[in-house]
Structure 1
Amino acid sequence: METGGCRMGGAGPAGPAAITLEELDALPEESPDSAYHSHGSSLEEEAAERMDDEEQERLLSYWQSVGRGHQVDVPRDMAEPIQQLTRNNNPQERQSIPFTLIQRKEKLGDLLYEKRQYGKAKWACIKMKEKQYEQSICLGFMKLMRYICEQNSSGLYLGITVPIVTIVHTNEAHSAMAQGVTVAYYLPEVLQDEPPHPFDSDIIIEEWPATIVYSRSFRGITNEDSIMREINLLAAILESPELCLRDTFIIAGYTNPAAANRHNEIWFLQRP
């Protein structure tokens, strides 16, 4: 929905740092009186802080390296949100956006698409207009990461929901994609009634109406070419594509945008 090297899921760098028994044993021996400095921090606490800083640097360096591949700069102030998101990136703790399955269309045992209904809900949204689609989703997700990772009026980590979605627009012939996109994060169920206020004024909380979508899964990178290809594939499969909007679509991302074999979906939106 998986901003430079934004990591929405999947395998990645090492998890949270921890002090091993060997490292504790290797610390210099001190008398009880000298085991604490004047600021009251123990040697163990100092070691933990040092390793915490090293973890931040390692993760930031990784994201910056991936970001360069997308022509995106990952600023140093992303170090803490990156670390927090990595530490909380447990697949079992991610909340899936709820929907009602209406229909599954299959052919020879292969799933062609699903027809789903998503309920009315609040989303944190940011509009982006970079030169390339990948730049827009990466930079947009970094802003949403800050909001998720405590830079909000509650001061709390909000939790990851999947998928992260991107609204894209095309011409009616489905031959070209507009530059502007909207990257959006579904607010967890417990925050739907009173979403925390973003500190970033570019992030807007919007309430989206209940919507019926036609969803087709695909894997790999998401760029202008792959998105247009998937739009035309689904348009050819649908029995009544005229029931859907012809110039507005959603890309749903379930895994890390930096991963080569991402899990994505293309959503067609049924007309109201």
Structure 2
Amino acid sequence: MSGGGGGGDGTDQPGMITLEDLESFSEEQLSDSGNGSLEEEAETMDEGDDRLLHYWQDAARGHQVEVSEDMAEPIQQLTSNNQGRSQREHIPFTLLSHKEKCGELLYEKRQYEKGHWACITLREDTYEQSICYGFMRIMRYICQQNSLGEYLGMTLPIITVVRTDENHSVMSHDVTVAYFLPAEHQAQPPQPADSEIIIEIWPPTTIYARAFTGPTNEVTIINQINAMAELLDAPGLCILDSFIVAGYTNPAHRNRQNEIWFLQRPE
């Protein structure tokens, strides 16, 4: 199993581009944030498409990421299909145990069953760019660029694989972004039009998950990995050079909900 997160320099720049960004902004909210109405600004594109695309482009520039014009349709489609939290399917798991200290939950031990994931691995100039471009390509697959030619549905969390050196001090810019196929598509996963998106079957996996809030960048992820390693009773039971950052909410929010996952070694 593999997993996700964000990047950045820890400043209060616009949030990293992810699928969650779209669900946080209705067309009415986007219209209110500008100087004019949607009708005044839409000249060559659909009104909602235009404003949503501009939002993505503005947010991406803060991270040296370009959002092309052809993203307008999938951006609009994902927005219209995910107007409420009830539309989002959470990846199922079994809670095996948890550890607390003074009433505070430190981490949970969970079992995730075998399942199909759509994965893409990229290596851009920065860790953050790899994640942004990976999310956008996965988004195209979710929205229409698949063998069914239809919207597949949103699942949470979206995860990426985080790879480090043995000392947990340096993070690789090789990033695998992964999306869990909704239950209705698990038996027969639609095939991606993008040849670099691979449908993989991940085996049953036991993980240790610790929640944290705030931005996900290289500094915060490294800090979370080291903090989790200190909390585990037997960190040697886990894989120690590959981790998962799972994102549940819009990275533009100051109090983003995330988890760091340690993977238990197969027996």
Q: 1:241 to 1:4 in 2, by over 3 A?
A: closer
Larger radius of gyration: 1
Output one character per residue of 1:186-243: Cα deviation in whole Å (capped at 9) or x when no partner. 0011111110010011100000010000000111111111110000000000000000
Could you tell me how far apart the structure 2 residues matched to 1:235 and 1:160 are? 31
Tell me, yes or no, if structure 1 residue 179 matches structure 2 residue 173: yes
For residues 225-264 of structure 1, the aligned pairs below 5 Å read 225-264=219-258
The answer on whether the counterparts of 1:165 and 1:253 sit within 8 Å (CA) in structure 2 is yes
Alignment CA distance shift 1:51-1:72 (3 Å)? closer
Match of 2:97 in 1: 103
Q: Distance in 2 between matches of 1:113 and 1:10?
A: 29
Runs ≥4 in structure 1, deviation > 4 angstroms? Answer: 1-4, 49-52
Distance 2:56 2:20 in 1: 12
Give the secondary-structure state (helix, strand or coil) at the position aligned to 1:214.
strand
Task: Give the aligned partner of residue 65 of structure 2.
Answer: 72
1:106 and 1:185 map into 2 onto residues whose CA distance is 30
CA RMSD across the alignment = 2.1
TM-score between the two structures when normalised by the length of structure 2: 0.85
- Give the secondary structure class of the aligned counterpart of 2:20: coil
Answer yes or no: is 1:63 the counterpart of 2:56.
yes
Cα distance, 1:5 vs structure 2: 2.9
Contact 1:124 1:185 in 2 (8 A): yes
Shift of the alpha carbon at 1:252?
A: 0.5
SS of the aligned residue for 1:185 comes to: strand
Say if 2:8 is the partner of 1:14: no
Name which of 189, 193, 205 aligns with 1:211: 205
* Segment of structure 1 superposing worse, 184-193 or 51-60: 51-60
Q: Report the Cα offset of residue 151 of structure 1.
A: 0.9
Distance 1:82 1:125, change over 3 A: same
User: What amino acid is the match of 1:71?
Assistant: Q
Structure 1 contact 117–212 (Cα < 8 Å) conserved? yes
Contact 1:7–1:258 (Cα < 8 Å) also in 2: no
TM norm structure 1: 0.84
Q: Distance in 2 between matches of 1:188 and 1:52?
A: 31
How far apart are 1:132 and its partner, in Å? 2.1
Work out the CA distance in 1 between the residues paired with 2:228 and 2:198: 30
CA distance in 1, matches of 2:71, 2:261: 30
Query: How far off is 1:75 after superposition?
Result: 0.5
Cα distance in 2, alignment partners of residues 144 and 256 from structure 1: 16
SS in 2 for 1:245: coil
Cα distance in 1 between the residues matched to 2:44 and 2:76: 12
Does the CA contact (< 8 Å) of 1:211 and 1:270 recur in 2? yes
Query: What is the rounded CA distance, in whole Å, between the counterparts of 2:255 and 2:63 in structure 1?
Result: 16
Q: Which runs of 5+ in 1 are unaligned?
A: 18-48
**Is 1:88 aligned to residue 81 of structure 2?**
yes
How many percent identity over aligned positions?
Answer: 57
| C-alpha distance in structure 2 between counterparts of 1:181 and 1:118, whole Å | 21
2:164 and 2:88 map into 1 onto residues whose CA distance is 31
Contact kept, 8 Å, 2:19 with 2:139, in 1: the verdict is: no
1:142 counterpart (117, 130, 136): 136
Please report how far the alpha carbon of residue 6 of structure 1 lies from its aligned counterpart in structure 2 after TM superposition. Answer: 2.6
Segments of 5+ residues of structure 2 without an aligned counterpart are 6-14, 30-41
For residues 87 and 261 of structure 1, the distance between their equivalents in structure 2, rounded to whole angstroms, comes to: 25
